Amino acid sequence: MSTRTQVGIVGAGPAGLMLGHLLHREGIDTVILEARSREYVGARIRAGVVEQGIADILIETGAGERLGREGLVHQGIALQFDGERHRVPLSDLADGRTIVIYGQTELVKDLIGLRLETGRPLHFEADDVSVHDLETDRPLIRYRHEGRDRQLECDVVAGCDGFHGVCRPSIPTGVLSEFSREYSFGWLGILAAVAPSSDELVYAHHEHGFALLSLRSPELSRLYIQCRPDEDPAGWPDDRIWEALQTRLGLEGWTLAEGPILEKGVTGMRSYVCEPMRHGRLFLAGDAAHIVPPTGAKGLNLALHDVCVLAAALTDWLRSGDAAALDAYSDTCLRRVWRAEHFSWWMTQMLHRAEDHDPFDLKLQLSQLRYVTSSDAAATTLAENYVGLETV
C-alpha cells in the first residue's frame, strides 16, 4: 500500500508531535509514525522543566492550554553544597524570565490529543520503519502497520525518532561529524506520592554523589540520585533510596518528606551532537540529533526549539519555494544546541562525583559553587542559560 504526504515524521515524542502540530496549523500535510503504543508513549516519565520562551510558544500555538493552567511557574532554584543551601534567583538575574514545571509525559499526552482531534494520521506501533532515497526529491518511508507492508512517499522526512531511532543511522557513513562524551555515572529517578519538600528545585552536591529534588505537582515529588550508569534499579529498594536522598539532600532545620514510590528508573548520561542535522531531504530534530546530560534541564527545550525552526523553514519552502531558512536549519539549531551542550556539561561536572575524581576536582567544584552562589556575574551566567538563551 502506498500513500503520499508532504512531511513524513518518524517518532511521536515531543519533537515529532509538536512538528506535526505546527505544520498542521500551516495547512501542511504530515503523517506521524511511532514504533511504540499510545499507552507506552503516554506513560514514559521524562523531563519536567520548560523554559518560559518555549512555554510561550506552546501556549501561542494552542498546545499549551493545560500547561498554562497546571504548570508551576518557578523563579529560582537552589544549589546545595557543604551543608548549606543557596538560592539562585533566576528571574531577578535573567530579565524576569521564569521556568515552568510541567511533565514531558503530560505535554506528549496533550499533543497526542490535539493530533487525534485533527483526524490526521498518527500511527502507533509502526514496525520495521526504514527511510530511503534521501538524496532524491521523493524520499520514501517503508513500514509495517496492522500486519501490512506500507510505503509513504514524502517531500521531506523529519527524523524525530530519538537517540536510538533509525533515521540518523540511515545517513551514509562519512557524512556526519559526531561529537560525544560519556559520563561515569547515571541518575536513579523516582516519582513519589508526597508533597514536594521544597517549593523550588534543589540541586545538591554531596560527597556521596549528586541528588536533585524536583516536582511534578503539589502532590507529586520527582527525585534523583547519582548512581552507576548501568545500575539495576532492583538493587535500590525504597528504603535505600530514601536513606540516600536523606543523606544527600539533608539540611539542619529542614526535613525531606517521604512517600510511596510510584515509579523508579535509571537514566544514563551522555553528551552527543551530530553535524549537520540534515542529509538531503532528511532533517533530524531533538534527541535524534543531540543528547545532553539532564543536569541542565535542556533536552526537552532543545527538541521543541528544533521543530519550531524546522516548521517555519518547511512552511517557507513548501509555500513559496524559498529554501533559505531550510538550508540554514542545521546551523541555526546548532548554535543553540552547542550553548546547551556546554551549559549541561558544566552543570554536570560541577555537581557530580566522577569515578576517577580526586581531591583537586573536589576543591575546584566547591570553589565554582561558592563563586556561582556569591557573585552576581557568575550567578547570571547560570540563570540566563537555565531559563534559556534566545540567541547566541
Binding site for ligand PHB (CB under 6 A): 47-49, 201, 214, 222, 294-295, 297
Complete DSSP assignment for 61-119: TTS-HHHHHHPEEE--EEEEETTEEEEE-HHHHTTT--EEE--HHHHHHHHHHHHHHHT
203 is an active site residue: yes
The 10 Å Cβ neighbour count of residue 52 is 19
Joined together, the cell numbers standing for residue 213 give 529534588
**50 near ligand APR, rule: CB under 6 A:** no
Q: Residue 161 binds which entry of ligand PHB, ligand APR, none, with Cβ cut-offs from 5 to 8 Å by kind?
A: ligand APR
Q: Residue 11 binds which entry of ligand PHB, ligand APR, none, with Cβ cut-offs from 5 to 8 Å by kind?
A: ligand APR
Among 337, 368, 338, CA closest to 351: 368
- Min CB(315)–ligand PHB separation in Å: 32
Among the candidate windows 32-40, 87-95, 173-181, 340-348, which touches ligand APR by CB under 6 A? Answer: 32-40
386 is an active site residue: yes
Complete DSSP assignment for 178-235: EEEEE-S-EEEEEEESS--SSSS-EEE--TT--EEEEEEETTEEEEEEEE-TT--GGG
Q: How far is CA 205 from CA 98, 180, 197, 347, 369, in A?
A: 23, 24, 18, 11, 9
Give 47 or 313: the residue with its C-beta nearer to ligand PHB: 47
**245 near ligand APR, rule: CB under 6 A:** no
109 is an active site residue: no
- Min CB(256)–ligand PHB separation in Å: 16
Among the candidate windows 111-119, 155-163, 175-183, 230-238, which touches ligand APR by CB under 6 A? Answer: 155-163
**112 near ligand APR, rule: CB under 6 A:** no
Give 244 or 284: the residue with its C-beta nearer to ligand APR: 284
**41 near ligand APR, rule: CB under 6 A:** yes
272 is an active site residue: no
Q: How far apart are CA 4 and CA 154, in angstroms?
A: 6
- Min CB(98)–ligand PHB separation in Å: 14
Q: 14, 196, 293, 294: which one is catalytic?
A: 294
Q: Residue 160 binds which entry of ligand PHB, ligand APR, none, with Cβ cut-offs from 5 to 8 Å by kind?
A: ligand APR
Q: 290, 298, 305, 352: which one is catalytic?
A: 298
Q: How far apart are CA 255 and CA 188, in angstroms?
A: 21
298 is an active site residue: yes
Q: Phi first, then psi: what are they for 144, rounded to 5°?
A: -120, 130
